[in-house]
A and B are shown apart, each in its own frame.
Chain A
Amino acid sequence: MSHLLSVADLGAQGIEEILRLTDSFVEVSERAIPKVPALRGKTVVSLFYEDSTRTRLSFETAAKRLGADTMTFSVGTSSVKKGESVRDTVQTIEAMGVDAIVVRHASAGVPWQIARWASSVIVNAGDGWHEHPTQALLDCYTIRRRLGSLQGRRIAIVGDIKHSRVARSDVLAFTMLGAEVVLVAPPTLLPPSLEGWPVTVEHDLDETLSKVDVVYLLRMQLERQREALLPSLREYTARYGLTPRRAEHLGADAIVMHPGPMNRGVEIAAEVADLPNAVMVDQVRNGVAVRMAVLFLLLGSGTQLEGVDRG
């Protein structure tokens, strides 16, 4: 049995395979009755130790559109509050007869640990600052739908790279598919070392914007304010926020992306978020289809993806 823990495990070929399959699930999602019986009789559990309504709803919608049953394990109202360990929780869930567990956890590596204990398929829905593989897949899909291909494209990822699992997974996936990635951030919001990252770094957003096909804005994690990594949010917005004036530097075909939830007025101006080349709604829509492809590949297709971790 296989898991989806990291985009690195997929390789370019595995990503391509998922993106190709996603086309079929976009078609399913556009139908009057957006549902197929491919995973009838399977049960998918969301095990979210960290709040994330949109990712959880996206996975649950995906599972339901495939005919699977879904269960939610909300940690806030569960026995975890009473001190139950992750291992006991997983064992309890598995004893009920589940086929896949979608895991979100604030600590890096937890999905790998669960994959060692569990006999179900494990899908990483975000672990700490580390990885968020399905977000990277839906971002690749969205770029491909808009721009045709990632090969040779220049993509700027702007903002809090240091604390962003989205940035890590995106850098891996974008570069595997042949794109060039530029990180734009204040030094305090970059990881301490970028050794081994296939990226270049810029500090001037204005200079960068006219040269990129995609500008990917990360959520400014307002809670980071307490760590004094920034002089002020206003200064961050002044230097790194995508304002209407800055957005004018973008090429006619360039697109604006954001993983959500957006802080309008901080990393992105309200007007910019509503421009036709801002594709946040596409990202959410494609996210359901990509997650359908992932769940179908892991639970229903009977095929082994080249390079997928076999746990």
Chain B
Amino acid sequence: MDADDVQRAVWRMAHEIVERNHGLGDVVLVGLQTGGVPLARRLAGALQRIEDVEVPVGTLDVAFYRDDIGLRPVLPEAVTDIPFDLTGLIVVLVDDVLFTGRTIRAALDALTDYGRARAVQLAVMVDRGHRELPIRPDFVGKNLPTRRDEVVDVGADSVELGEMVK
């Protein structure tokens, strides 16, 4: 995907978010550290232009909620910043790539510590498959079938598929 493709995907996802929720009342975005944060900000920008509503954006690091603590190195990438109570809100969780689903599982656990959201929806730029948990996205930029050993790199202006460096 080039810059135009990425921008088109962001616009489409933003429109889908508005449509699904019949507007943006009570909708907030929470980007996962680190790849989901810039995407959440871009979605917020698109939502503002579509509906003229400023949607609050939070950021979430799931390191302390992972199920592989002790199995591999786990450290937070950045400090979580959710300056609002999620109780009663519709949270759109945003990440760059959806893979096994374990990060999203951890994120759902983490979100419950910030309040009881009315609903949680999931927006990802790329769904690359290989799910290990029953998790599916609500808004997808691109479905990109991959091999397990491939890597997906989502940048501000591109989505690239590469070989894993061994």
Chain A residues at the B interface, C-beta cutoff of 8 Å: 21, 23-24, 26-28, 31-33, 35-39, 66, 296, 300-303
Contacts and interface: CB of A to CB of B under 8 A. Distances in A.
A21 B80 contact: no
A38 B79 contact: no
B69 interface: yes
B5 interface: no
A36 B79 contact: no
Contacts of B70: 300, 302
A33 B76 CA distance: 19
Contact of A301 (B61, B73, B79, B114): B73
B165 interface: no
Nearest to A37: B65
B64, B74, B81: most-surrounded residue (chain A CB, <10 A): B64
Given A31-B114, A33-B113, A36-B64, A302 B72 contact: yes
Given A36-B65, A37-B64, A23 B73 contact: no
B75 interface: yes
27 contacts: A21-B76, A24-B63, A24-B80, A26-B79, A27-B79, A27-B80, A31-B114, A32-B85, A36-B113, A37-B64, A37-B65, A37-B109, A38-B64, A38-B65, A66-B64, A300-B70, A300-B74, A301-B69, A301-B74, A301-B75, A302-B70, A302-B71, A302-B72, A302-B73, A303-B73, A303-B74, A303-B75
Contacts of B65: 36-38
Q: Which size class do B's interface residues fall under?
A: 20 to 34
Nearest to A42: B70
A39 B163 CA distance: 34
B109 A24 contact: no
Nearest to B78: A24
A302 B113 contact: no
Contacts of A300: 69-70, 74
A36 B109 CA distance: 10
A21 B64 CA distance: 11
A301 B72 CA distance: 8
Nearest to B67: A37
A289 B52 CA distance: 40
Nearest to B112: A33
Contacts of B110: 36
Given A38-B64, A302-B70, A24 B76 contact: yes
Nearest to A300: B69
Contact of B113 (A23, A31, A303): A31
A304 to B, nearest CB: 9
A296 B65 CA distance: 12
A39 to B, nearest CB: 8
Contact of A24 (B73, B79, B113, B114): B79
Contacts of A36: 64-65, 110, 113
Contact of B79 (A23, A33, A35, A302): A23
Contacts of B80: 24, 27
B43 to A, nearest CB: 23
B40 to A, nearest CB: 18
Nearest to B106: A37
A43 B93 CA distance: 33
Contacts of B85: 32
Contacts of A33: 113
Contact of B69 (A28, A31, A302): A302
Nearest to B109: A37
Contacts of B73: 301-303
Nearest to A31: B113
Closest 4 A-B residue pairs measured CB to CB? A36-B64, A38-B64, A303-B73, A24-B76
Contacts of A39: 69
A283 to B, nearest CB: 20
Contacts of A35: 113
A300 B74 CA distance: 8
A308 to B, nearest CB: 14
A31 B115 CA distance: 10
